[in-house]
Amino acid sequence: MSNQAIGNSKPARHVPRTRPIDRNEVYVYEAPIRLWHWINALAILTLAVTGYLIASPLPSLGGEASDHYLMGYIRFAHFAAAYIMIIGFVFRIYWAIVGNIHARQIFLPPIHKAKWWAGIIYSVRWYLFLVKEPRKYVGHNPLATFGMHFGFIWLTVFLIVTGLALYGEGAGYDSWQYTFFSSWVIPLFGQSQDVHTYHHLAMWGMVIFVIVHVYAAVREEIMSRQSMMSSMFSGWRNFKDDLPMDKDH
């Protein structure tokens, strides 16, 4: 069975990639994916802002301690967003299994395929203005898949694991977070402070991912041969020409 499928008006699975393209619109991002994408984006935004403020708090408030709970609220927002992100991520994994073929693309980059790597090189060349035209893909281009997989999936796993390890410290010895995360993550890093440091550093990794990702999304919307941003709202990918798809992915 082919690993490539093109959707049509109805989300369909496992449609042979060899099928000729009969229209300039493909249904790529199913509604749950789109919903997840935007919730996740908001959660991460919240996490980055609150995380930064946890490490470098706002100027002090005066008055009685019992009158305020600023740091508490910031941390609460961080943890609430964190759990939304975690649940979303678990759901996203589930959807990678039950959703359409595009839903698992960023989880399973075909790293064993030379053609895919060649596609990455081609994409890099496109971004370096070395080729005139980008190739045409239904899902992510190979470079995007690469970035999504390593720059998003694994970074997210890292943030979740270290985040839960930190959470377990406050939740205490008897919490599941401590048992399943803190208990081995902290010794692995050496000590608690190092876990904070690398969790914090990973935030910057995520910030960089988002900068590149959003820039690329906007740019590709304008410069490439297919729709981008709008696809994440509608689910449909519009192609600006009728030329055939690239087959390396």
Partner 1 sequence: MMESFYDVMRRQGISRRSFLKFCSLTAASLGLGPSFAPTIANAMENKPRLPVLWLHGLECTCCSESFIRSAHPLVKDVVLSMLSLDYDDTIMASAGHQAEAIVTEIVEKYKGNYILAVEGNPPLNEDGMFCIIGGKPFVEQLRYAASNAKAIISWGSCASWGCVQAARPNPTRATPVHQVITDKPIIKVPGCPPIAEVMTAVVSYILTFERFPELDRQGRPKMFYSQRIHDKCYRRPHFDAGQFVETWDDEGARKGYCLYKMGCKGPTTYNACSTVRWNGGLSFPIQSGHGCIGCSEDGFWDKGGFYDRLTNIHQFGIEENADKIGMAAAGVVGAAAVAHAAVSAIKRARDNGDKQS
Judged by the rule CB under 6 A, the positions of this chain that interact with ligand HEM are: 33, 37, 40-41, 44-45, 47-48, 51-52, 54-55, 75, 78-79, 82, 85-86, 105-106, 140, 144, 148, 152, 159-160, 163-164, 166-167, 196, 199-200, 203, 206, 210, 213-214, 217-218, 228-229, 231-232
Give every CB contact of residue 238 below 8 A, 6+ residues apart in sequence: 24, 25, 226, 227, 230, 231
Phi, psi of 163 (to 5 degrees): -60, -45
**Beta carbons of 246 and 136 less than 8 angstroms apart:** yes
Minimal distance, residue 212 CB to partner 1, in Å: 6
Q: Give CA 24 to chain center in angstroms.
A: 27
Q: For the chain, what is the largest distance between any 2 Cα atoms, rounded to a whole number of angstroms?
A: 71
The one-letter amino acid code at 25 reads: E
Q: Identify the CA nearest to 27 among candidates 54, 45, 7, 44.
A: 7
Instruction: Give the contact letters, 128-167, x = binds to partner 1 (CB under 8 A), - = no.
Output: -x--------------------------------------
Which of the ranges 37-45, 55-63, 114-122, 235-243 carries the binding residues for partner 1, by CB under 8 A?
55-63
Q: Identify the CA nearest to 40 among candidates 75, 89, 94, 95.
A: 89
d(CA 106, CA 149): 5
Per CB under 8 A, the list member of 150, 173, 176, 233 interacting with partner 1 is 173
5 or 206: CB nearest partner 1:
206
Which of ligand HEM, partner 1, none does residue 244 bind to, with CB < 5 to 8 Å depending on kind?
none
Which DSSP helix (H) or strand (E) runs through 26? strand 25-27
55 or 61: CB nearest ligand HEM:
55
Contact residues: partner 1, CB under 8 A: 55-62, 65-72, 74, 127, 129, 169-170, 172-173, 183-184, 187, 190-194, 196-198, 200-201, 203-205, 207-208, 211-212, 215, 219, 222-223
